[in-house]
Amino acid sequence: MRTITFSQATLEAMAEEMTRDEKIFVMGEDIARQGGIFGQFKGLAQQFPGRVLDTPISETFIAGGGVGAAMAGARPVIDMHYVDFIGVCMDEVLNQMAKARYMFGGQAKIPLVLRAPDGIINQAAAQHSQSLEAWLTHIPGLRVVTPSNPYDAKMVLKAAIHSDDPVIYLESKVLYKEKGEVPEIEDEKPYELGKAKVVRNGKDVTIVSYSIGMKNALGAADILAKDGIEAEVIDLISLSPWDKETVFNSVKKTHRLCIVHEAVKQSGFGAEIAATAAEEIIEYLDAPILRYGSPFCPIAFAPTLEKKVKIFPEDLVEGIKGMF
């Protein structure tokens, strides 16, 4: 099977879907002339003249224009440059994008994908390093997805583009250069929004994560295996909705739950998973639920301080061993 990068996988998804449907177009800052700041749109403007648009430096225009175009029958994919900038257009996201279909009694659809690079990358500092998924999953009317590898990056983006509801597509900046196996188009199977994957089977503890956090989850599982502890690892992929059934079925088998994400631990998405598990399947738990996330502070520019806020597989291993 061929191997391509996460960035190439998303570019391939865009090209295939734009070929399929002429109503799909892309707009954002520096994506036609530059190909996106991470190269995730490279060559797309030349392949689809007039359908890849550079906008003014105005997130409000990008989000508002995308909503208007979607309501008028187009299927826009808009780029937010960095997820940190979504605060500039939060009214359009919160009160228009997420609410229009409800406010019009289902007469209007919002088939829009908002792509937003997120997470910590070398010395991007406090305003370009955030993980804001929990904030976005708190908004009814939005679907939120965040793949962790090239194959899922392609399949989830295609599913998002097919959706008649607005989808926030979060993509870790670190993952753009990550390589993985992605089959040719004839071998692809559609991804269903809202479904998680069990990527490693185990019987002793369930580790749940998504996006870049999967590196910690799988890394911890490898270390634990050396000590005879079999971890079952689940990649959520979709955060809103999230696949409660897959997670709970695993916990009922392992009786232990550990959740890890790069986002700030306080009020992070892991808290939603932990609270729901405590409410609905606490009788299956043989140990307190573990949550791992960044400390409650901005991401520093200095490499030594930036490293302090990161989670590593060894952190999970230490806590998980204490569950037995």
pLDDT confidence band for 184 (50 / 70 / 90): confident
Instruction: State mean pLDDT over 65-88.
Output: 97
Instruction: State mean pLDDT over 86-92.
Output: 97
Based on the fold, state whether residues 132 and 220 are members of the same structural domain. no
pLDDT digit string (tens) for 278-307? 999 999 999 999 999 999 999 999 999 999
Based on the fold, state whether residues 106 and 77 are members of the same structural domain. yes
Based on the fold, state whether residues 74 and 148 are members of the same structural domain. yes
- Indicate whether 280 belongs to any domain: yes
- Indicate whether 76 belongs to any domain: yes
- The CATH number that applies at residue 284 is 3.40.50.920
Res 187 pLDDT > 80: no
- Indicate whether 56 belongs to any domain: yes
pLDDT confidence band for 70 (50 / 70 / 90): very high
Based on the fold, state whether residues 236 and 277 are members of the same structural domain. yes
| Contact call for residues 289 and 277 (beta carbons, < 8 A) | yes
| Residue that is last in its domain, among 138, 169, 187 | 187
Based on the fold, state whether residues 102 and 82 are members of the same structural domain. yes
Average pLDDT in the chain: 96
Based on the fold, state whether residues 22 and 96 are members of the same structural domain. yes
Number of domains in the chain: 2
Res 89 pLDDT > 70: yes
| Residue that is last in its domain, among 142, 167, 187 | 187
- Indicate whether 192 belongs to any domain: no
Helices 269-280 and 244-254 cross at an angle (nearest 10°) of 60
pLDDT confidence band for 170 (50 / 70 / 90): very high
In angstroms, the first-to-last Cα distance of the chain is 40
Helical H segments across 104-195, by residue range:
133-137, 150-162
- Indicate whether 109 belongs to any domain: yes
- The pLDDT of residue 296 is 97
- The pLDDT of residue 190 is 85
Based on the fold, state whether residues 148 and 283 are members of the same structural domain. no
Based on the fold, state whether residues 50 and 141 are members of the same structural domain. yes
Domain range enclosing 148: 3-187
Res 185 pLDDT > 80: no
Catalytic residues: 59, 128
- The pLDDT of residue 186 is 64
Based on the fold, state whether residues 239 and 176 are members of the same structural domain. no
pLDDT digit string (tens) for 243-260? 999 999 999 999 999 999
Res 189 pLDDT > 90: no
- The pLDDT of residue 1 is 81
DSSP calls for 57-112: S-HHHHHHHHHHHHHTT-EEEEE-SSGGGGGGGHHIIIIIITTHHHHTTTSS----
Based on the fold, state whether residues 234 and 210 are members of the same structural domain. yes
Based on the fold, state whether residues 231 and 164 are members of the same structural domain. no
- The CATH number that applies at residue 82 is 3.40.50.970
Based on the fold, state whether residues 50 and 181 are members of the same structural domain. yes
